[in-house]
């Protein structure tokens, strides 16, 4: 079983960590790791198992920490989960192993403010040029003003008939 | 050795003149959606290209957090108009897994039927767009005229040509009866003949082949490096298909081939997508003739218990993945969407390097861009 | 007299430019459907143009996102007068389901003066033809 072999290899690489696999629907295996173990774990996956398909990197703000989920696929789904502190979160980039991670890391960087050390091109991917870099849309805050339907930009005129 | 003054002058002039930057801006006849390229060309060949996304970024992931699970089915359907049904399929599948629902078999068959019909319509749309981009407007008109048959079938089933709203959490909201099934099967037979004709035209039309062979080449190694999915990956020989590798809905009960090609250029992608359309037609016929009886939906609770789910499916453009986390309320805590066009976009600088400026529309169309999907 | 001829010429051959300022593509593929054999708006004299400088009518779909706002304005300014703007689809009328997106400013009437609103999500080709014919009737 591939998943068993991968877990065994991760346990050998990180003898100090408890590697536990959790089954998550639909057919996914979740493994939690500390942030500095993520690049070596990805190296094990790429070099030993030729597992190079990274579906995406999910970033989420759980309130107490920023969680990153790296979703891999090789016949079955494997997700590596890691937690970063909310102030100044940073983690090593995976683009040296998997160049396809570049876009996903750029998106997590602009949405949550995570710095990926060593990323070759850390520009914003989706947010507009005039977006305030301090404002991170996917962070949980009490400020709901960016969601308001009638928000206006400072220099915006409107041609709406009744305004 | 001294260089003659005219040699020196020519070299200076060509060094200064050769590199020009051409913007392929948000509004361009070859682009159906806003996307910005800055192409650096030397003479007629592209040296480097820079991509700018974000024109269609609506912030859907954050919008999903402000709506409840039922409203999100409608939000998620509008991530992309071409592949709207597969987005709702993946989303509903994920929420049904969180709720622990068993979707009835008839609902799964109907869901799969719409998925395959959508694949047919998307590939025919793509064929028309590629043909128009290389100048073969006749195929554009024929492909889109024949695509109307599929849109009529989808409208009969669901009420909408493009946005079907067929999926609900717990099943589907539509049903078919015997006369409808017979009428749809008859029209699918007619459509199969028409697609075979189009395939025959493309395979014998030398100008189309000259415009698409050798253009936009991606090797299997590049496909794996950039994590490309879908027909673009299959055209380079990488055999991945979520319908076969991780069967969802009714795919474990269907018999189908996964089409691959080896050349990795736009021609190979055509030779993957058009036979795939015919394969999807056969799958629709299997689904309609083998439709099981039973209900089409089960009741779903509004509040979803805490948990997380990763849901994948094969959209017309490749692997679509959703991550949904619930915190026990009736609104999701996080909905993460990764659409198949996003990794394909990261290969565009590689594909465009060394290509003639005149071949840029063919390369862009060959990748089957859906910027609305990529930007969300 | 000359005025009447010019107005007749404008009514009988409105050339359109299609721009997607942030929409999901649903209305865009229905606009492209207008050009295909089933709906065939070329019988009304409508041609889809490549450049704003050749177009009379701007068919705009999708809500205005912050990134596409300036480009939409520039495209409108490049069109020679007389020009008309048609908002196709609910998103370009008002922003519809994306109104509270952090990157979305609303319908295109936040940026341009609109002459015809054609709602629908997505807008059916028959509704678009109806809207275009009514607009041509006011020219």
Asked whether residue C10 carries a pLDDT value surpassing 60, the answer given is yes
Q: Does A138 touch chain B (CB under 8 A)?
A: yes
% of chain B residues with pLDDT over 70? 95
Q: Which residues from B are below 8 Å from A75, CB to CB?
A: 245
Residues C39, C30: contact at Cβ < 8 Å? no
Helices (H), A26-161: 38-49, 101-112
pLDDT at res. A159: 72
For residue C34, give the CATH number of its domain. 3.40.50.12280
C113 → closest Cβ in A137, A156, A159: A159
What would the mean pLDDT of C86-110 be, rounded to a whole number?
Answer: 88
Q: How many domains does chain C have?
A: 1
Mutation for testing the C interface, residue in A135, A158, A162, A163 having most C CBs under 10 Å: A158
Say whether A159 and C106 touch across the interface (CB within 8 A): no
What is the ipTM for the molecules in this complex?
0.90
Residues B169, B330: contact at Cβ < 8 Å? no
Residue A151 φ/ψ region, left for φ over 0, alpha for ψ in the -120 to 50 degree band, beta for the rest? beta
Q: Does C22 touch chain A (CB under 8 A)?
A: no
Residue C9 maps to a domain: no
Residue C2 maps to a domain: no
- pLDDT tens-digit map of C24-54: 889 999 999 998 899 989 898 899 888 899 9
What would the mean pLDDT of B154-161 be, rounded to a whole number?
Answer: 90
Q: Which option is the CATH number for A2-12+22-140: 3.10.20.30, 1.10.3710.10, 3.30.460.80, 3.40.50.720?
A: 3.30.460.80
- The whole-angstrom separation of Cα B286 and Cα A152 is 53
Q: Which residues from A are below 8 Å from C84, CB to CB?
A: none
Q: How many domains does chain B have?
A: 1
Q: Does C13 touch chain A (CB under 8 A)?
A: no
- pLDDT tens-digit map of B41-60: 888 888 888 888 889 999 89
Q: Does A5 touch chain B (CB under 8 A)?
A: no
- The whole-angstrom separation of Cα A97 and Cα A34 is 19
Say whether A149 and C110 touch across the interface (CB within 8 A): no
b/e burial code for range B246-278 (CB count within 10 A of at least 16 → b): bebbbbeebebeebbbebbbbbbbbbbbbbbbb
Residue C95 pLDDT class (50, 70, 90 cuts): confident
Query: Can you give the residue range of the structural domain that contains C72?
Result: 15-137
Q: Report in angstroms the alpha-carbon separations of A101 from A31, B57, B129, B318, B344.
A: 19, 20, 29, 17, 12
Residue C7 maps to a domain: no
pLDDT at res. C90: 92
pLDDT at res. A154: 66
- The whole-angstrom separation of Cα A102 and Cα B226 is 9
Cα-Cα-Cα-Cα torsion B9, B14, B16, B20, nearest 10 degrees, comes to: 160
CA distance A161 to chain C (A): 8
Assign A22 to helix, strand or coil.
strand
Residue C4 maps to a domain: no
**What residue ranges do the domains of chain A occupy?**
2-12+22-140
CA distance B343 to chain A (A): 7
Residues C92, C107: contact at Cβ < 8 Å? yes
For residue B144, give the CATH number of its domain. 1.10.645.10
Residue C10 maps to a domain: no
pLDDT at res. B283: 93
Q: What is the pLDDT along chain A (163 residues), one digit of tens a residue?
A: 678 888 888 888 888 888 888 888 888 889 888 888 888 888 988 888 888 899 999 999 888 889 999 999 888 889 999 999 988 888 999 999 999 899 999 999 988 888 888 888 888 888 888 888 778 888 877 667 777 766 666 666 677 766 5
Query: Can you give the residue range of the structural domain that contains B242?
Result: 56-371
pLDDT at res. B3: 53
Residue C127 maps to a domain: yes
- The whole-angstrom separation of Cα A30 and Cα A20 is 8
Task: Enumerate residues 6+ apart whose C-beta is below 8 A from A46.
Answer: A52, A97, A98
Residue B190 maps to a domain: yes
Please report the residues numbered 46 through 75 in chain C whose beta carbons come closer than 8 angstroms to any beta carbon of chain A.
65-67, 69
Residue C112 maps to a domain: yes
- pLDDT tens-digit map of B243-284: 998 898 889 999 999 999 998 889 999 999 999 999 999 999
CA distance B6 to chain C (A): 41
Q: Report in angstroms the alpha-carbon separations of A108 from A69, A140, C100.
A: 11, 14, 21
């Amino acid at each position: 079983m591939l998943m068993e072999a991968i877990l065994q290899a991760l346990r050998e690489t990180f003898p100090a960590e408890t590697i536990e696999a959790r089954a998550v629907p639909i057919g996914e295996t979740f493994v939690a790791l500390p942030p500095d173990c993520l690049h070596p774990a990805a190296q094990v996956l790429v070099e030993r198992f030729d597992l190079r398909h990274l579906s995406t990197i999910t970033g989420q703000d759980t309130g107490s920490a920023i969680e990153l989920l790296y979703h891999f696929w090789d016949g079955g789904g494997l997700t590596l989960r890691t937690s970063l502190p909310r102030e100044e979160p940073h983690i090593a980039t995976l683009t040296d192993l998997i160049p396809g991670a570049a876009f996903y890391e750029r998106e997590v960087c602009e949405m949550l403010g995570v710095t990926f050390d060593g990323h070759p091109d850390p520009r914003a991917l989706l947010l507009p040029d005039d977006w305030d870099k301090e404002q991170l849309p996917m962070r949980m805050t009490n400020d709901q003003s960016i969601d308001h339907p009638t928000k206006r930009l400072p220099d915006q005129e409107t041609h709406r008939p009744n305004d | 050795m001294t260089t003659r003054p005219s040699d020196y002058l020519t070299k200076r002039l060509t060094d200064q003149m050769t590199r020009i930057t051409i913007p392929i801006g948000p509004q361009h006849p070859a682009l159906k959606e806003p996307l910005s390229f800055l192409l650096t060309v030397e003479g007629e060949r592209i040296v480097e290209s820079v991509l700018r996304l974000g024109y269609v970024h609506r912030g859907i992931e954050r919008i999903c957090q402000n709506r409840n699970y039922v409203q999100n089915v409608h939000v998620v359907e509008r991530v992309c108009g071409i592949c709207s049904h597969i987005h709702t399929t993946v989303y509903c599948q994920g929420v049904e897994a969180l709720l622990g629902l068993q979707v009835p078999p008839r609902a799964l068959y109907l869901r799969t039927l719409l998925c395959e019909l959508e694949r047919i319509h998307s590939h025919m749309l793509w064929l028309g767009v590629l043909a128009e981009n290389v100048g073969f407007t006749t195929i554009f008109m024929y492909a889109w005229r024949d695509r109307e048959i599929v849109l009529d079938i989808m409208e009969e089933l669901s009420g909408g040509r493009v946005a079907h709203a067929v999926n609900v959490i717990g099943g589907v909201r539509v049903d078919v009866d015997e006369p409808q099934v017979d009428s749809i099967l008859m029209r699918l037979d007619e459509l199969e003949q028409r697609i075979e004709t189009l395939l025959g035209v493309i395979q014998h039309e030398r100008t189309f082949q000259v415009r698409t062979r050798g253009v936009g080449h991606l090797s299997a190694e590049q496909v794996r490096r950039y994590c490309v999915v879908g027909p673009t990956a299959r055209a380079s020989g990488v055999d991945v298909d979520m319908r076969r590798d991780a069967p969802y809905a009714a795919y474990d009960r269907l018999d189908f081939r996964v089409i691959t090609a080896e050349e990795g250029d736009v021609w190979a992608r055509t030779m993957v997508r058009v036979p795939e359309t015919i394969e999807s037609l056969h799958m629709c016929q299997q689904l309609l003739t083998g439709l099981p009886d039973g209900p089409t939906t089960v009741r779903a609770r509004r509040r979803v218990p805490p948990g997380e789910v990763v849901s994948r499916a094969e959209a017309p453009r490749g692997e679509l993945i959703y991550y949904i986390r619930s915190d026990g309320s009736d609104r999701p805590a996080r909905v993460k969407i990764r659409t198949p066009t996003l990794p394909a976009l990261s290969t565009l600088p590689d594909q465009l390097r060394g290509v003639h400026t005149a071949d840029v529309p063919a390369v862009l169309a060959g990748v089957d861009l859906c910027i609305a999907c990529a930007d969300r | 007299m000359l005025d009447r001829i010019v107005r007749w010429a404008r009514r009988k051959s409105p050339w359109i430019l299609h721009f997607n300022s942030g929409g999901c593509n649903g209305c865009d593929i229905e606009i492209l459907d207008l050009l295909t054999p089933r709906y065939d708006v070329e019988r009304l004299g409508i041609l889809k143009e490549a450049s704003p400088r050749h177009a009379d009518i701007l068919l705009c779909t999708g809500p205005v996102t912050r990134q596409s706002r300036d480009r939409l304005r520039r495209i409108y300014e490049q069109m020679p007068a007389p020009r008309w703007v048609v908002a196709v689809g609910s998103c370009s009328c008002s922003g519809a389901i994306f109104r509270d997106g952090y990157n979305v400013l609303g319908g295109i009437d936040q940026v341009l003066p609109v002459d015809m609103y054609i709602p629908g999500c997505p807008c059916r080709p028959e509704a678009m033809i109806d809207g275009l014919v009514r607009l041509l009737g006011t020219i």
